[in-house]
């Protein structure tokens, strides 16, 4: 049985998607332990073709949803969440990439301490992969409403389903999701390892991202 599901909403991300998928597939946690759910939100570029190609290469690990209506990242995440069949899951954005031990670090923390949510910091890098900023949390355990943004996190599936936590199509903002999790548990840990890598784009590429994520 697979242990962790990675949900990735996809919209017009042909430039970055393969990079992200390659970093997930090459995790030291083992692709045999990971389920990827890719939610294509009616992309108009070659994103769907990339998704299909990876799904054919890794049919036991990658499934996808091809939406016929573009509804934004919140609805895409909720659609992916409905298909989760593993004890834990995480969200990634389609322009991220992750360290080779990202999944294993977060899995080890949430599993070994019987937690409901583990949140890591992130590294912001430029297009040349030079680190611009590293963000981590000073707190260790419990709900921290001053730092609710889950740039990187892993969630216990049965906890989220028990309390019917979802985006409910309202917003792609992580804060709305994690605030709901904060309401029902204090079994939360912040870690300074296993950082997600978020890419900061400049110039024309930055404008493209802003246009994509105004709805996302």
Question: Which has more confidence, 98 or 212?
Answer: 98
* Percent of the chain that is helix, strand, coil (3-state, to 5): 35, 25, 40
Model pLDDT for residues 131-161, shown as the tens digit of each residue = 777 766 665 766 665 555 555 789 999 999 9
- Kindly tell me if the per-residue pLDDT of 9 is higher than 90: yes
Model pLDDT for residues 40-70, shown as the tens digit of each residue = 999 999 999 999 999 999 999 999 999 999 9
Rounded to 5 degrees, φ, ψ at 55 are -65, -35
Closest by Cα among 124, 156, 201, 167 to 9 = 167
Cα→Cα distances 33→5, 129, 150, Å: 9, 28, 23
Closest by Cα among 19, 3, 29 to 100 = 29
- Kindly tell me if the per-residue pLDDT of 93 is higher than 80: yes
């Amino acid at each position: 049985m697979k242990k962790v599901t990675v949900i990735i909403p996809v919209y017009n991300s042909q430039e970055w998607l393969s990079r992200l998928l390659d970093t997930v597939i090459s995790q030291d946690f083992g692709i045999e332990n990971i389920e990827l759910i890719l939610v294509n939100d009616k992309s108009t570029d070659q994103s769907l073709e990339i998704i299909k190609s990876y799904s054919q290469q890794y049919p036991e690990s990658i499934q996808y949803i091809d939406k016929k209506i573009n509804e934004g990242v919140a609805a895409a995440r909720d659609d992916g969440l409905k298909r989760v069949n593993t004890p834990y899951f995480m969200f990634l954005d389609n322009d991220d990439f992750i360290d080779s031990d990202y999944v294993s670090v977060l899995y080890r923390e949430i599993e070994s301490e019987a937690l409901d949510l583990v949140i890591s910091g992130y590294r912001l890098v430029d297009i040349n992969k030079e680190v611009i900023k590293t963000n981590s949390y000073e707190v260790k355990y419990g709900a921290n409403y001053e730092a609710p943004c889950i740039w990187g996190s892993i969630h216990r599936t049965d906890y989220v389903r028990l309390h019917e936590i979802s985006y409910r199509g309202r917003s792609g903002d992580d804060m709305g999701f994690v605030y709901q999790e904060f309401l029902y548990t204090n079994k939360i840990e912040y870690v300074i390892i296993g950082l997600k890598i978020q890419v900061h784009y400049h110039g024309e590429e930055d404008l493209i991202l802003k246009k994509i994520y105004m709805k996302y």
